[in-house]
């Protein structure tokens, strides 16, 4: 497994590949790897000749400096996991390599970023758009792999690729969960055992809401019940719980025919912010 700390190292690695027909898959991460990341790698290995994983905690997508400072960093463990699973190369740039100067460009994703994560984390998707653009330009993958847990991020990246004509296919991989239902997240490392138990309210509420919605219950009634469930869970503060168009991220108030629907939520468990979602009709 090659460790590539610079853009030039990535370029040399790509030039060393056997021929121009060699397909490259990219799995962008911020480290603190878990089984969800490894599932992305497995999918990439199934569909690409060469797999490159990037590890970079991107400061421009954090609107909360404290969240950035506390983000888990486990590079040695991450590299061992990637080596054992058979990754070909890991791009591990430092901040100066990715941002030799503060970017002047701003990316506005319109209505896609006005709701949910965008409304609670102003500037977040600008940071996501810039760093993903950089990674796609540096690695030039044929396919890039992202997890469904970050549903709004996926919608934003798909739009980025479409609007800027990146020659890459975006592959979305289903969320990996613990047996309890808790979605795997690097931030779970910061949860105490009691907080991990309390965090189950996210997935339980999503599952409850999906079941009730498909039974014909009104979204208003479902949402009121879910908000009550969160209020009764210690150390958990709900930020949002919304029914959305999975592609456009438009917030809806009832089931709609002919479009992909998801329920999305975000909540603080202690001082750890978690997100999750569930598909309603797929």
Q: Report CA 68 to chain centroid distance, whole Å.
A: 15
Residue 80: pLDDT band with limits 50, 70, 90: very high
Strand stretches in the chain, DSSP E: 2-4, 24-29, 50-55, 89-91, 143-147, 169-173, 236-245, 251-252, 261-269, 272-279
- Average pLDDT over the chain reads 96
With contact defined as beta carbons under 8 Å apart, do 91 and 139 qualify?
yes
37 tagged catalytic: yes
> In the predicted model, is pLDDT for residue 1 greater than 90?
yes
What does each C-alpha distance from 23 to 28, 55, 120 come to in angstroms? 16, 20, 38
Q: How far apart are CA 188 and CA 199, in angstroms?
A: 9
Residue 2: pLDDT band with limits 50, 70, 90: very high
Q: How far apart are CA 269 and CA 148, in angstroms?
A: 21
pTM for the full predicted model: 0.94
> In the predicted model, is pLDDT for residue 282 greater than 80?
no
Q: What is the mean pLDDT of residues 88-114?
A: 96
Percentage of the residues of the chain whose pLDDT score is greater than 70: 100
Residue 20: pLDDT band with limits 50, 70, 90: confident
- Domains belonging to the chain, first-starting first, are 2-173 (3.40.50.620), 186-277 (3.30.1300.10)
Residue 254: pLDDT band with limits 50, 70, 90: very high
Nearest Cα neighbor of 234 from 187, 267, 269 is 269
What pLDDT digit, counting tens, does each position of 185-231 carry?
999 999 999 999 999 999 999 999 999 999 999 999 999 999 999 99
With contact defined as beta carbons under 8 Å apart, do 272 and 195 qualify?
yes
Among residues 37, 124, 142, 282, the one annotated as catalytic is: 37
Question: What's the pLDDT score for residue 25?
Answer: 98
> Which residues make up each annotated binding site for ATP?
30-37, 147-150, 176, 184-187
Question: What's the pLDDT score for residue 281?
Answer: 87
Q: Which of 19-28, 204-213, 265-274 has the lowest mean pLDDT?
A: 19-28
Tokens of 30: 């911020």
Q: What is the mean pLDDT of residues 154-175?
A: 97
What pLDDT digit, counting tens, does each position of 118-145 carry?
999 999 999 999 999 999 999 999 999 9
Q: How far apart are CA 107 and CA 199, in angstroms?
A: 33
Q: Report CA 224 to chain centroid distance, whole Å.
A: 27
> Which residues make up each annotated binding site for beta-alanine?
61
Q: What angle do CA 35, 184, 229 make, to 5 degrees?
A: 160
Question: What's the pLDDT score for residue 138?
Answer: 98
> Which residues make up each annotated binding site for (R)-pantoate?
61, 153
Question: What's the pLDDT score for residue 64?
Answer: 86
Question: What's the pLDDT score for residue 143?
Answer: 98
């Amino acid at each position: 497994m090659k460790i590539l700390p610079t853009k030039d190292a990535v370029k040399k690695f790509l030039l060393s590949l056997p021929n121009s027909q060699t397909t490259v898959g990219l799995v962008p991460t911020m480290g603190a790897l878990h089984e969800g990341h490894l599932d992305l790698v497995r999918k990439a290995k199934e569909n690409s000749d060469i797999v490159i994983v990037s590890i970079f905690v991107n400061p421009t997508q954090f609107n909360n400096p404290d969240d950035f400072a506390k983000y888990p960093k486990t590079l040695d463990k991450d590299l061992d996991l990637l080596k054992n699973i058979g990754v070909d190369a890991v791009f591990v740039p430092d901040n100066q390599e990715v941002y030799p100067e503060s970017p002047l460009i701003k990316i506005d994703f319109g209505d896609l970023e006005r709701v949910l994560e965008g409304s609670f984390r102003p500037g977040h998707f600008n940071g996501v758009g810039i760093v993903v653009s950089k990674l796609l330009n540096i690695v030039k993958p044929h396919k890039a792999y992202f997890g469904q847990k970050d549903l709004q991020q996926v919608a934003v990246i798909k739009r980025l690729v479409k609007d800027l004509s990146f020659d890459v296919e975006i592959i979305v991989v289903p969320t990996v969960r613990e047996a309890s239902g808790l979605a795997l997240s690097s931030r779970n490392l910061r949860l105490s055992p009691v907080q991990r138990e309390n965090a189950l309210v996210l997935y339980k509420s999503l599952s409850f809401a999906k079941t009730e919605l498909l039974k014909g219950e009104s979204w208003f009634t479902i949402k009121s019940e879910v908000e009550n469930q969160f209020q009764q869970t210690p150390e958990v503060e709900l930020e949002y719980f919304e029914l959305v168009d999975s592609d456009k991220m438009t917030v809806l108030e009832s089931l709609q025919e002919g479009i992909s629907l998801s329920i999305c939520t975000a909540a603080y468990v202690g001082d750890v912010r978690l997100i999750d979602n569930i598909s309603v009709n797929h």
